[in-house]
Amino acid sequence: MNLFSDLKATEVAAYFLTKSDGQLPVLKLMKLMYLAERESFKKNHLPIIGDLLVSMPHGPVLSLTYDRLNGNCRNTYMSELLSDKENYNISLKKDICIDSDLKYLNYDEVKVLESVWNEFGHMGKWEIRDYTHNGGCPEWTDPNGSSVPISYKELFKALDFDDDTASSIEEYLNEEVEIDDFFASLT
């Protein structure tokens, strides 16, 4: 299931980069973005970015976002706002005003990002990585040097959703994928 939004991935990254004076290690940025996606499911029962979740050696990651931040398949919007990775860091290309420049994120999504930043923004890259390994994200499993998908079912179990809630969210997401696929077939 994939509802990935390049635009929202770019703006979530820009939000966290703005909060950190314009630059972050890719490792920390990826953890913040994953934790935001996770928190959005917990609070709103919806993803922000809609990315594929995977377990990697340094913790859980948003797969397509990770590829793009590492320079693969970067879209125009991402290239406009974010620098290429240099010395394991990502930077903003220009100053961003969260209230006026981030036009694809809604109020509830920005509130999730703010909550994640307030809880984890002070952590260093290794500290936040360790948090995701040591019980903070029980859906993560050690992939032994590779990557392993994290299913929504595993995430919802880790978030303590009851079966009805988990099924309802998955059904909604599947319907959204079908709608996206239908409109994509028209172009």
pLDDT in tens, 111-147: 999 999 999 999 999 999 999 999 999 999 999 999 9
Which three-class secondary structure state does DSSP give residue 83? coil
Is 84 within a domain?
yes
In which band, very low, low, confident or very high, does the pLDDT at 71 lie, cut at 50, 70 and 90?
confident
CB 1 within 8 A of CB 173: yes
**Distance in angstroms (rounded) separating the CA atoms of residues 88 and 92:** 14
Range of the domain at 103: 6-186
Instruction: State the pLDDT at residue 69.
Output: 87
Give a yes or no: residue 1 inside a domain: no
Q: How many domains does the chain have?
A: 1
pTM: 0.93
Nearby residues of 32 by Cβ (< 8 Å), 6 or more positions away: 16, 24, 116, 117, 120, 121, 128
What's the rounded Cα separation, in Å, for the pair 85 and 108? Answer: 29
Report CA-CA distances (Å) from 51 to 91, 95, 96, 168, 186. Answer: 21, 26, 23, 19, 23
Inter-CA distances, 101 with 11, 81, 140, Å: 9, 10, 33
